[in-house]
Amino acid sequence: AASSALQPERCLLPLAGPRRRHQALRMLPPRLLVLPHRRRGAVRRFSSRDGGGGPAGALEKRSVVPEVAAEKKGGGDAPAEEFEEEEVDGALELRWPPWEGLPERYRLIGATSLAFVICNMDKVNLSVAIIPMSHQYGWSSSTAGLVQSSFFWGYALSQLPGGWLAKLIGGRTVLKAGVLVWSLATAVIPVVAGFMPGLVLSRILVGIGEGVSPSAATDLIARTIPLQERSRAVSVVFGGLAFGSVLGLLFAPPIIQNLGWESVFYIFGLLGIIWCLVFESVQELQPGDNEDILNMTYLVKNHSLMQLPKPSWFV
C-alpha cells in the first residue's frame, strides 16, 4: 500500500531538482530508493555534496562484475572470465619446496618420523633377503634364525643406555648417531655376509642404532615441542615405524629380484646416510616455538602449580 501510494513521487524523481528530489527521498522507504532509469545491478550514490543527507547518504554504488573486472585489468573491453582465471591461477600456485615457511618444530617432527620410516625399512629388509642369502651360502634354518635374531640382541640391550645418553647429551645427537650407525651397518652386510661373525656383528650394530632411537626421539619431542602438541607429535613420529615396515616389505622383493639381494642393503643404507646430511639443516629450537615450555618452567620455579585446588579425595 505504501509503495502504491508513493509511486507518483518515485516516477517524478528523475525530473525534479536536487532539493526536491532529496526531500522526496527522505519520505520513501529504503527498499524504494532504487531509481527506475538506472541500469539493473547498479545503485546511484547520494552524498552531502549534492545538497542532501540522511538515508540517501548511506547508499553505495554497486557495479556489475564485468565492469569491475575490466577496471582492474586496466581496460574497458577485457572480459571478466579472463580476470577470474588469472586470480585462480595465482591462488593455486604452489610453493617449492613445499615445506618452505613451516615452523621448525613441524620440520623436526617430519624429519624424525622419516628416520623411523628408514629404521623399520632397514629392520625388515633381511627378512626378505634371507631367502636368497641362504641359498647362496648354504645356510641351514638354524643359521638363518641366528642371523635374523642377532638384530634383537642389540635392540634389547640398547634401550636403557639410549635413554641415559639422550638425557646426557640430548636426543638430537643420539638420534643422528643412531641413524648413522644402523645405516653404515646395513650397507656393509653384503661385504661381510660370507663371514658369519662379521654378519652377526653388523646386525647387532643395526639393532643398537635402532634401539637408541625411540628414547632419543622422545627426548627430542619433550625438549622442542609445546605441551599441547606433544601427543600428536608422538603419534606422527612413531607412526613412521609401521609405515617403514610396509615400505620395506613392499619394495625389497622387486629390488632383490631385479638388482640382487646385495642392492637392497646398499640402497636402504644410503637412505639413512642421506637423512643424516639433510637433518643437519633442520634447526632444533626457534624463538617462539617453545613459549609453552618456558611458561611451564616459569610456573614451576615460582611454585604456581602448588596453588592449584586439591581434589576432594586428596588428604
Q: Positive or negative CA dihedral for 34, 39, 40, 42?
A: negative
Long-range contacts of 77-85 (CB under 8 A, 24+ apart): none
Residue ranges and CATH numbers for the domains of the chain are 2-58 (no CATH), 107-285 (1.20.1250.20)
Long-range contacts of 287-292 (CB under 8 A, 24+ apart): 289/103, 289/104, 289/105, 289/224, 289/226, 290/224, 290/226, 291/226, 292/226, 292/227, 292/228
Tens of each residue's pLDDT in the chain, 315 residues: 444 444 444 444 444 555 555 555 555 554 444 444 444 444 444 444 444 444 444 434 444 444 444 444 455 444 555 545 555 455 445 566 665 667 788 889 999 999 999 999 999 999 999 999 999 999 999 999 999 999 999 999 999 999 999 999 999 999 999 999 999 999 999 999 999 999 999 999 999 999 999 999 999 999 889 999 999 999 999 999 999 999 999 999 999 999 999 999 999 999 999 999 999 888 765 444 444 444 445 444 544 444 444 445 444
Q: How many C-alpha atoms does 221 have within 13 Å on its Cβ side? A: 23
* CB-based burial label for 292 (10 Å; 0-12, 13-18, 19+): middle
pTM of whole model > 0.75?
Answer: no
